[in-house]
Amino acid sequence: MRWKAVLPAILGLVAACGATPGIEIRAAVIAMPAGPATAVYFEVVNNGDATDRIIGVQSEVGRAEIHRSFLDGGLMHMEPVSEVSVAGGEVIVFEPGGLHVMLLDVDELEIGQTATVTVVFEVAGAIDVEALVTSYAEIAP
């Protein structure tokens, strides 16, 4: 039977089409740490119809918290966020100047390496993403 050879090709095709139901996390990067803290950025896509919520984050390379940056009086501040709602069909972008995963007491990292970041959803559960360590200049040119 040729099925064994065909199945991985089919699975690969499904992944490439982004046809996965539910939550998808893409383009995950970790800004190269310049000190004990840095940030993780990614896009969360809710391919389903129902709202889900990010209720926690974890990482193998540091203590992780959800943060939001905001401008106040011309100065950039940030604050912890306890949860992030992602409506059905919605894309939420974690990016410089907005939502991010803060990594504290972060390990030494090298550009080009990947590290696992776990994003915990209320419904979808824990989703692991491999985040690529990237220079901040490349993330926020």
Q: Which residues bind Cu ion (CB under 5 A)?
A: 67, 78, 102
CB of 93 to Cu ion, least distance (A): 15
Kindly tell me which of 81 and 87 has the beta carbon lying closer to Cu ion. Answer: 81
CB of 20 to Cu ion, least distance (A): 29
Kindly tell me which of 69 and 118 has the beta carbon lying closer to Cu ion. Answer: 69
Kindly tell me which of 101 and 124 has the beta carbon lying closer to Cu ion. Answer: 101
Kindly tell me which of 8 and 80 has the beta carbon lying closer to Cu ion. Answer: 80
Q: For Cu ion, which residue has the nearest CB?
A: 67
CB of 118 to Cu ion, least distance (A): 18
Return the HEC string of the chain.
Answer: CCHHHHHHHHHHHHHHHCCCCCEEEEEEEEECCCCCEEEEEEEEEECCCCCEEEEEEEECCEEEEEEEEEEECCEEEEEECCCEEECCCCEEEECCCCEEEEEECCCCCCCCCEEEEEEEECCCEEEEEEEEEECHHHHCC
CB of 78 to Cu ion, least distance (A): 4
